[in-house]
Amino acid sequence: MKRKSVSQALALLLTMTMVLAGCGSSTAETPAADTKEDAAKTEAPATNDSAAAEEKTEEAPATEDVAAAGEPIKDLVITTVGDLDHMIMQHSEGSGHGQLGGNCLSPLLEYNKYGQLCPAVATEWGTEDGSVWTFNLRDDIVYVDYQGNEIGKCTAQDWLTALEWVLNFHKNGGLCTSMPTSTIKGAEEYYEYTKGLSEADGKATKATDAKFLEMVGIEAPDDYTLKYTMIDKCAYFDTLCAAQFMYPMPQGMIDNVGVDGLIGIKFEDFWYSGPYRLTTWVLNNEKVFTKNDKYWDKEATLFDTVTMKCVEDNLTDDLLWSTGETHVAQLDVSTLTTIAADPSHPDFDKLTETRIEKYSWSCLFNYDKKFEDGTPDENWNKAIGNEAFRQAMNWGLNWTNYWYLDNALNPYNLENNAYTANNLGVFSDGKDFTTRVVEMLELPEKVDEKTPRRYVPEKAAEYKAQAIEELTAEGVTFPVKLDYYIKAGSQSELDSAIILEEIFEELGTDFIDFNILTYVSSYGEEVMFPQMMSMAIVGWGADFGDVSNFVDQCKIYDDAAIYSVERLCTEEMTDADTIEQWKEFTELADKAGAIHNDRDARLEAYAEAEAYMIGHALVIPAKSRNKFQLTHVNDYSKPYAASGISDVIWKNWETSTVPYTSEDYARFKAEYEAGAN
């Protein structure tokens, strides 16, 4: 019954595409952010100074009277699916912790709405040849408590404290280490050094210790000067300044709660230097952020409060919109179906399209799957270790209906044939890195506008037959059960999983049995860490302006490779051929990462590594993403970057108490493009 209703909804959406296109109520062009020009602007030059920064931060005049009857919103209300378990952004690589920490702390640099690096705590920054980066800091940044009382000064030492914490195995467990260990001199060596310490000795170390200062290429010559020494020349290091690991961490806060108490610190004990203070946190209910009156940027437009309501799934915010309890609702397919099918619906002319997200979503397989009792799932592990089995999926999955769940009116905007996201790497001739990856893959030309390039059923059938023959000889039984987990009670996740079930089982129910299972509250604790999933479709957004932040996450035998450790589980896989493929990919990635003085050569080498990984179907790209929404927020006014967390900071947002219309968004897009060019 459920499968039928979802399919009927998709059929209706196909009809609505023609209805809306005919009446001209919605603009459906690719967002302006998805251009080579904007991508080039996110690539900061190897040298920078305050004069250059000032020149780059000049923007087009702000939009006037964006909505005839609307006034700026003072108290913003938005939603988030689920809640967080701690406040320390350096102890996470997830965007949720980045949003929380990024609004409570001030970074060295930040991005404006055109993707240009701008001063924040650092007023001047630069490098002569990429080997040493120097940042001159403001002297008026203060920390306040959750009530707004001043409790300390923010100095360069806070960045040393943060880096020591990140690199200390016993304090941070390897999280957020891939960026500093690949760029900062001595960072990897210090990480390995702390791994060799006892837990007690590791937790007792500080950034003021001679060992840390001798080993790691970071120094604070005075309270307001910060220097980083690179492993080799690194022209993109300033783009890391908006990454989670590069935010400050005051030693005074750690001293107050203790090393063991920091990860579980209460919002009442946190030290705030960003635009907002967290003043209320009711777990699994809501968080309230209040404007920090002592925030350094007195010219910034901030909300008086921002309330984040925790919801169970993406459908709930649609319901909250209907009752006026949220200012933004990214529409579930069922809600969009209702609105788009009825031109008389009060929200019909308010359907607006979000910008293409900076994330790329890929199908990540678990190469060392376990059952609930911890024993290995030999049938799955043998199957996924067989390249023909993976290639059957690579060429036989028609992702179209999956894209419809995100963007029913322009689903083919979401086709994605690379693992890395667009706009992150650009060659000197303007070619996007992902374009080069796809060239290397030598994919067949599109049959038509509605057939994905990687959907070739005939090729999939050949690989299927080969896989059945090879795996049957190894004792694998068919159909191979693919365990896919969703949150219990989430209707939107169930709808998505049912569509995926249809897509995967199109290969034949004699080949794959797509098994939908549920977890109660924590995917990490209940599914991912016990390694019980067969696969997951995961979106990644870069933390800094270099493609290594995507590609290096999959390197085998690397503690800093978060995908390899937590998702792909390649460290203890047993299939010899697949191990060799992952090793070959890793060698290619390492070779690319060693190129620091020739950007085009670096991108070419990384493209070779990514094309090898995709070409052997070690991962399978699934989609890019944007959605239709109802909103009081002008997305084109938000900070934008292809990397880092600036885009989730509630600063300088244009809003209206009256919801924006599709006509408003068409104007925003045109004005944005005019200002960007």
Please report the pLDDT score of residue 69 as a whole number: 60
Q: Tell me the Cα Rg of the chain.
A: 25
Question: What count of other Cβ atoms lies within 10 Å of the Cβ of residue 179?
Answer: 25
Q: Please give the mean pLDDT across all residues of the chain.
A: 88
Q: What pLDDT is recorded for position 6?
A: 44
The one-letter amino acid code at 504 reads F
| Sequence-ordered alpha helix ranges (H) in 278-351 | 316-322, 333-340
Question: Token digits for 256?
Answer: 């107050």
From 405, 572, 611, select the one nearest 499 (Cα to Cα): 405
Predicted local distance difference test score (pLDDT) of residue 646: 83
Task: Note the pLDDT of residue 621.
Answer: 98
Give the DSSP letter string of 458-488. Answer: HHHHHHHHHHHHHHHHTT--SSEEEEEEEET
Count CA within 13 A, CB hemisphere, residue 595.
16
The predicted structure's pLDDT at residue 426: 86
Residue 50: per-residue pLDDT = 36
Residue with tokens 């709808």: 495
Tell me what pLDDT residue 352 has: 95
CA distance 233 to 230: 6
Residues 6+ apart with CB under 8 A from 657: 69, 70, 71, 72, 73, 632
SS3 state at 432: strand
Judge whether 99 and 87 are in contact, CB under 8 Å.
no
Tokens coding 48: 């920078």
Query: Could you give phi then psi for residue 460, rounded to 5 degrees?
Result: -60, -40
539-552 per-residue burial string, b: 16 or more CB within 10 A, e: under 16:
bbbbbbbbbbbbbb
Q: 634, 671 in Cβ contact below 8 A?
A: no
Long-range contacts of 428-437 (CB under 8 A, 24+ apart): 428/599, 428/600, 430/36, 430/40, 431/36, 432/36, 432/39, 433/547, 433/603, 433/606, 433/607, 436/603, 436/604, 436/607, 437/607, 437/610, 437/611, 437/614
pTM for the predicted model, two decimal places: 0.74
As a whole number of angstroms, the distance between CA 11 and CA 337 comes to 10
Cis peptide before 479 (omega within 30 of 0): yes
Which residues of the chain fall below pLDDT 70? 1-69, 677
Angle subtended at Cα 123 by Cα 117 and Cα 124, rounded to the nearest 5 degrees = 80
Distance, in Å, from the CA atom of 432 to the CA atom of 43, rounded to the nearest integer, reads 12
d(CA 537, CA 526): 17
How many Å apart are CA 571 and CA 611, to the nearest integer? 22
Cβ neighbours around 434 below 10 Å, total? 25
- Phi-psi domain of 444 (left: phi exceeds 0; alpha: psi -120 through 50; beta: other): beta
How far apart CA 390 and CA 184 sit, in angstroms, is 37
SS (H, E, C) 541-586: CECCCCCHHHHHHHCCCCCCCHHHHHHHCCCCCCCHHHHHHHHHHH
pLDDT tens digits, residue range 396-443? 999 999 998 888 888 998 999 999 998 888 898 989 999 999 999 999
Domains of the chain: 7-74+290-353+629-676 (no CATH), 85-263 (3.90.76.10), 362-448+467-476+518-623 (3.10.105)
- Give the largest Cα separation in the chain, rounded: 71
Q: Quick one: CA dihedral 498, 334, 412, 643, positive or negative?
A: negative
Asked if 547 and 425 touch (Cβ cutoff 8 Å), the reply is yes
**Do 179 and 553 touch, CB atoms closer than 8 A?**
no
Per residue in 227-248, pLDDT (tens digit) is: 999 998 887 899 999 889 999 9
Q: How far is CA 555 from the centre of its chain?
A: 18
Q: How far is CA 653 from CA 118, 356, 379, 437, 632, in A?
A: 16, 18, 51, 35, 10
Cβ atoms of 616 and 367 within 8 Å: the answer is: no
